[in-house]
Structure 1
Amino acid sequence: MLAPLKDAWDALDRDDFRLAEARAREAIARDAQDAEALYLLGSTFLFEGRLPEALAPLTAAAARLQRRGVGYRLGHCQFGLGDLAGAEASLRREAQAYPQSADAQNTLGSVLSAQGRHAEALEAFQAALRVNPAHVEALVNAGTALHTLGRHAEALPLLERAAAAQPGFAHAHLNLGLVQHALQRYEEAAASVGRALAIDPDLPYGLSSQVWAELFACDWRAIGPHIAALRAQAREQRVPVSPFMLLAVTDSPAEQLQATQVYLRDKDFGERPPLSRPMRTRAPRIRIAYLSSDFHQHATAQLMTRLFELHDRSAFEVIGLSTGVNDGSPMRARLERAFDRFIDVERASDAQAARQIADLGVDIAIDLKGHTEGSRMNILGWRPAPVQVTYLGYPATVGAPYIDYVLADRVVIPPEQQRFYTERVVWLPDSYQVNDDRIVVPPAPQSRAAHGLPAQGFVFCAFNNAYKLRPETFALWLRLLRGVPGSVLWLLANNPAMERRLREQAGAAGIAPERLVFAPKLPLGEHLARHACADLFLDTLPVNAHTTASDALRAGVPMVTCMGHTFAGRVAASLLLALGLPELVTDSLGDYEALALKLALQPQALAEVRAKLARNRATSSLFDTARTCRRIEAAYRIMWERHLRGEPPAAFAVEPAATS
């Protein structure tokens, strides 16, 4: 370090930015090419957060000064300004010139992660840890990258080390909680996130992550105040929360939109400069591409694979873009065959995947994930396709300016709720949900005893995920058990904490805990077959059963629902109305309880509903994949024709007469 500027560097070390800037400017006034002074000035601006002003002097210094740290600070500045390519180049040069710079490797990993290049990011974080195994930020970042890549067990010890090494680092505890959640250690997850919130009560995604873990564990001791605080965060738009997690706690579409907008700003999931694309005018076939990380054994694949197979190949070319893992399952193999082209972009960055979509000349890109786990919706931020759509995977607005349309129906999105959607709503006839009509319920006889059910007595069932269950709903279900002697409640065995706590709640309410029966997860065919032992499916609110609901209805089990105000809370009503069963849709929890009790106590009433469900199932569009496919194709044609005419996206309805 040059002696004339030593006092200025000392001033910067003690955060005396005014003195450091003054000394740097004096030196530059004497010699505009003084690399040391340029470095000092850029560093001062960087530490003050004045990134636009820091860029020029740091760039000039990096070109003239061969010193460890210069390229790192330039890359840090470029990263903060959103110049990911520039930051990557600067940090790679720094890491190559000074391989012992753990900070450069760690920040390089963050830059790669921001581009969706998580495997490469992990390599950079691991390089930082080889230099400095105690680098806490690199431990957290490496653990987070492993978590993102689905390698949760490997992530856990890294995050445990980080949290132990720096107990005051809120993000270490938060990310540890997220990994514990992924490993289904929900009570530990809630405790870890609680420690993070004790350090920083306004930690982004902290409260939503804590509530999420508590819901999965059915730990409702503080759920009321926590949900109230989380909803307040969404309304105030002050602290980013997870929009997907919020679906489980609010029945307000306005709150969901507000939270999503804050989330998009925080994650920088806004629109990017549009990519150049091959000129596509009117062609014999519309080229459509479906984007998802769930092209394997998953509920989305269960619903949609038949649609991909049935698309009219004379009118549509159908491409699948997979951003998720290849699980090697028969479903994955079927999906790969279902598309004209199946492209794995799991390891591509968001920008690289967007470039690939643009180069393919895709006309309409359809995202199937929204803001659910594993989403890569940001790929569409570069506008790689002229028309971009969201469908099925996310039951709310995605809030992104680059998504033009959402496929829905008039039940899940009534016309008066359009204002809560940034997309233009396309209303499909009947229900928006597509189903695979080739799925057959196995006819094998089912023994109640084999499923842990009593030989006699009414069986209420609810095979939803634990997070959809709220204390007020469970209290209602316990009242049903009390009102129907000998009845049992058949639930999906999600996790041990859920089972223990629900049994405790039942016992405290005077209901024998053994009247709760937990069903293990089974392959689809066996799961559908065991529905023969159930009498009535009980829905949840504010998030309904979705695929689980159509499974029950396919298997012939009537369902009672209470219709909410959000998309997620109106799906079951959409399915029931499409099946011509409006009598099973209620508007209040009181009516829901009364209807469920009536059906349980009046065998003739239940038998009539069952018979009607069986009749209507055979003719309804809900389980007619070809009919739903033609309707979705009609929607795509209208979207594409509007684009070819130079018209902006607009809401419209697909008429059933034209596609039935």
Structure 2
Amino acid sequence: HLIRSKIHARSQYSFVPQPFAAKTETKSDRLRIGYFSADVHQHPVMVLLAKVLKMHDRNRFEIFFYGFSPKKSDPLRERIIAAVDVYDDVLQMRDIDIAHLARQDGIDIAIDLNGYTENSRSGIFAHRAAPVQISYLGYPGSMGADFIDYIVADKNLIPESSQVNYSEKPIYLPHHYQAQDNELPIDQAAPNRTELGLPENGFVFCALSNSYKITPAEFDLWMRLLKAVDGSVLWLLQGNTSVLKNLMFEAAKRGVDPARLVFATHTDHGQYLARFQRADLYLDTFIYNAGATASNALWAGLPVLTKRGHGYTARMAASLLSSIELPELITDSEQAYEALAIDLATNPVRMAAVKAKLVANRRTTPLFNTELFTRHLEEGYQQAYDRYSEGKAPDVIEVTTRV
């Protein structure tokens, strides 16, 4: 991944940005943080980040947001705009002009919320929008670019032994890397199981991730689970017609009645969260974990079973489960994952105990403590800027629990 990213960065963004002048004494003592995104609408990154933007300490930070997504009538977009001090719609501007605008605004730290994703504008950062530039949340891996100094992480997500696979220096947060909103409303009038096409009494395995994350390895294992647990079903996210037909065909090939695959359609976010409460166990994908989806499931009270892998995308759910203090749901092999899934599905007492622990831990552990997370994130930003202001090169930053 790092090699591919480096090749892409060098081929597309070989600019030589102008150096930054020293910070003047007349400038505000507060650090100016600039967030940049193409996804200022109902999007997983914005759902996760919205409350953090609002909770930034305005005594220490000024929050700017540069949005380059098409305007939509969207409540989340309006929430983002209201949460920041300055919002600039820069969709029609060139990358270099956006970078110059950020420089004129005196941005100290630029946060790239896209990386190499759809509609991203990496050229802004290649032109150096700020003296310190950080990749966060939207892109799950290294950008391989010399213009991105840091990546926000935790040691479950990027172990110290994996730092060689990143061109960025990690800003290690003490509990988890992922922003959370602990006020997300869960619709109380969600459809019941029957209305959702689920069995009233059968065990519901749930995997509402995008279908591109499902590989034959997961699907083979999931079909074995259906065979092992009488009356169980697998609840999947309905994609296009081809995806639906292909998954049903593959189930039949493996000797499973396609009717045991139930497909969920897209709905509004409150209903989406409430639907998780109709399932029994979330089954994570291996190479590309559920990220925001896993957080949503946990927030709704649905346990998530994961297999921890080696790269960023294969360790996201383990980060979340560690922070919410449910390490018993983290496995390290397909065999352990399968055995635990069967045990939970056939042992109602153990399953109930795990669910009860999750519900209790939502309010007592760090994962959904948005204020604590925001303080840790801010401390990471501050330490990164302090290194720059002292003339030091970017280096690994470890935020402690004492901030």
TM-score range, shorter chain: over 0.9
Equivalent position of 2:377 in the other structure: 632
Whether the 8 Å CA contact 1:397–1:423 is kept in 2: the answer is yes
What root-mean-square deviation, in Å, do the aligned CA atoms of Structure 1 and Structure 2 show? 1.3
Corresponding residue for 1:306? Answer: 51
> Which entry has the higher C-alpha Rg, 1 or 2?
1
Q: Give the distance between the partners of 1:508 and 1:638, measured in 2 at CA.
A: 55
Q: Is the CA contact (8 Å cut-off) linking 2:190 and 2:271 kept in structure 1? A: no
Q: Does residue 524 of the first structure (1) align with residue 286 of the second (2)?
A: no
Corresponding position: 1:316 with 2:61: yes
Residue 553 (structure 1) aligned to one of 298, 303, 308? 298
Q: Which has the higher contact order (CA 8 A, sep 6+)?
A: 2
Q: 1:390 offset after TM fit, Å?
A: 0.7
Secondary structure of the equivalent of 1:533?
coil
CA apart distance, 1:276: 5.2
Match 2:286 to one of 541, 557, 560: 541
TM-score (norm 1): 0.60
Match of 2:91 among 339, 346, 349: 346
Flag the 1:336–1:410 CA change in 2: closer, same or farther, 3 A. Answer: same
Instruction: Report the AA paired with residue 262 of structure 2.
Output: V
Matches within 5 A, 1:251-330: 256-266=1-11, 268-274=12-18, 279-280=23-24, 283-330=28-75
Distance 1:277 1:292 in 2: 26
**Contact 2:98–2:129, Cα closer than 8 Å, also in 1:** no
Give the Cα separation in 2 of the matches to 1:610 and 1:539. 16
- Tell whether the 8 Å contact from 1:297 to 1:327 is kept in structure 2 after alignment: no
| 2:78 aligned to which of 312, 321, 333 | 333
User: Could you tell me which residue of structure 1 aligns to residue 342 of structure 2?
Assistant: 597
Residue 264 of structure 1, CA deviation: 1.8
CA displacement 1:103-145 (0-9 Å, x = unmatched): xxxxxxxxxxxxxxxxxxxxxxxxxxxxxxxxxxxxxxxxxxx
1:270 maps to amino acid: S
**Aligned positions of 1:85-100 closer than 5 A:** none
Structure 2: distance between partners of 1:459 and 1:384: 48
- Residues 45-67 of structure 1: CA distance to partner in whole angstroms, max 9, x if unpaired? xxxxxxxxxxxxxxxxxxxxxxx
Structure 1's 494 and 562: CA in aligned 2 closer, same or farther, altered over 3 A?
same
Would you say how many aligned residue pairs link Structure 1 and Structure 2?
402
Once the two structures are TM-superposed, the CA of residue 280 in structure 1 deviates from its matched residue by: 4.0
Identify the residue that residue 435 of structure 1 maps to in structure 2.
180
| Counterpart amino acid of residue 486 in structure 1 | G
- From 358, 364, 373, give the equivalent of 1:619: 364
Deviation at 1:265, TM superposition (A): 2.7
After superposition, give the CA deviation of every residue in 1:251-285 in whole Å (9 maximum; x if it has no partner). xxxxx10111122233x223422265574457420
SS in 1 for 2:62: strand
Q: Displacement, 1:464?
A: 0.2
For 2:35 and 2:330, locate their aligned partners in 1 and report how far apart those are by CA, in whole Å: 32
Partner of 2:222: 477
Match of 2:140 in 1: 395
TM-score scaled by length of structure 2:
0.97
Cα offsets for 1:70-119 (capped at 9, x unmatched): xxxxxxxxxxxxxxxxxxxxxxxxxxxxxxxxxxxxxxxxxxxxxxxxxx
Q: Distance in 2 between matches of 1:310 and 1:277?
A: 30
Question: Identity rate of aligned residues, in percent?
Answer: 42
Report which of the two has the higher share of strand. Answer: 2
Which residue identity lines up with residue 272 of structure 1 in the other structure?
Answer: V
Letter in 2 for 1:548: T
Amino acid of the structure 1 residue aligned with 2:102: I
**Letter of the aligned partner of 1:292 in structure 2?**
S
Say if 1:446 and 1:532, in contact at 8 Å, map to a contact too. no
Distance 1:272 1:606 in 2: 57
Distance 1:348 1:265 in 2: 23
Instruction: Check whether the contact 1:578–1:620 (CA below 8 A) recurs between aligned residues.
Output: yes
In 2, distance between residues paired with 1:606 and 1:301?
A: 32
Unpaired stretches in structure 2, ≥5 consecutive residues: none
